[in-house]
A and B are shown apart, each in its own frame.
Chain A
Amino acid sequence: MVENPKPENQGKAPQAPGDAELSARLQHLEQRLGEVRDAKSEIRIPHQTARADNSGLAKAFRLSAEFVSGPVAGGLIGWGVDTLLHSKPWGLIVFLMLGFLAGIYNVMRASGFMKKSDAN
């Protein structure tokens, strides 16, 4: 890592480098960038998930929002179905219950309860 910048700096010297040399340098740079990226992503992924999970408050807020949004979305869909089909209470009843299920499903998915079966 320390010796590498030197040849590149020398390459910037007055005379224009040939095409072959340029593409070779580009390839070299791409390869090094790839190495840096790989090394970083290896470090970063466990580090980030650990931090996001460790904050209990953040987790609590996240899970509560995940759950509440389920019945809210179900209620909105049910209300929409009712006004479209004039089926007054039934759409709201059915979709609220489905929304309740979706809320629990959301929480299970967000808490990593079904991480192995579902890639999400």
Chain B
Amino acid sequence: MADPIHQFELKTIATVGHIGNMPLVLTQSSVYMIGAVIAITLFVLLGTSGRRLVPSRLQSMVELSYEFVAGTVRSSAGTEGMKFFPLVFSLFMFILLLNLVGMVPYSFTVTSHIIITFALAAIVILTVIIYGFMAHGTHFLGLFVPSGVPAWLLPLMVAIEVISFVSRPISLSVRLFANMLAGHIALKIFAGFVPALLAAGVWGLLAPLPLALTIALTALEMLVAVLQAYVFATLTSIYLNDALHPGH
């Protein structure tokens, strides 16, 4: 049967240079990411170049994605949070496009590698920390002191709040990575049952069952791909809201 993990293997396309003993390699993952950035840039630039009062198809797609992300930011971080709109919009479009491209057969899913999702989550958390300290100074640390807690419980609560804060980039990255990895492995395994059953003589009569399941899983994975990009954008806005308003 087909190896379900094989699809996540990185393949070297070109070696760009060396840092010490480590080769600096252009993999198919990097190519997909560069392609995604170019595609999103073209999409937005071409869509907004017309600036018609009655939008063309492309323009209304760009306007829809703008309005969707802007609504997410406004509802989670308020109008003040719109200063972070470029960050949230870039993250949303990048993750959404890479998730959807991963659904194309034989393509590579960049977001199924935890180092990619962790890097994205690290950008978010570093923005929160740096902006929080720049805007509020040490007052930002009030984020870790919950209000209305008895004094003898406070040291424990502060420790838990700090760990909870550290766990945010981990949960943000693990959620996206685990969803994409698990979905693609499940898809591969059930699709692999079809040829395996067909090759086993009479058992081939059962082959339509995993085929139907594969179709259903594909639909589910499309939903997950969009939903995870949305969840990432929403949680980013919620965390940025903490940077804007530390003490609750």
Contact = CB atoms under 8 A, between A and B. Distances in A.
Given A101-B160, A117-B148, A118-B146, A58 B71 contact: no
Given A106-B164, A118-B248, A61 B179 contact: yes
Contacts of B170: 69, 72-73
Task: Give the secondary structure class of B's interface.
Answer: helix
A76 B227 contact: no
Residues of B in contact with A, size category: 20 to 34
B74 to A, nearest CB: 6
Interface in A34-58: 37, 40-41, 44-45, 48, 52, 55, 57-58
Contacts of B60: none
B248 A69 contact: no
Contact of A58 (B72, B164, B227, B238): B227
Given A74-B167, A102-B167, 13 more contacts: A48-B71, A48-B72, A58-B227, A68-B174, A69-B167, A73-B163, A99-B167, A102-B163, A106-B167, A106-B171, A118-B248, A120-B242, A120-B248
Interface of A: 37, 40-41, 44-45, 48, 52, 55, 57-58, 61-62, 65-66, 68-70, 72-74, 76-77, 95, 98-99, 101-103, 105-106, 109, 117-120
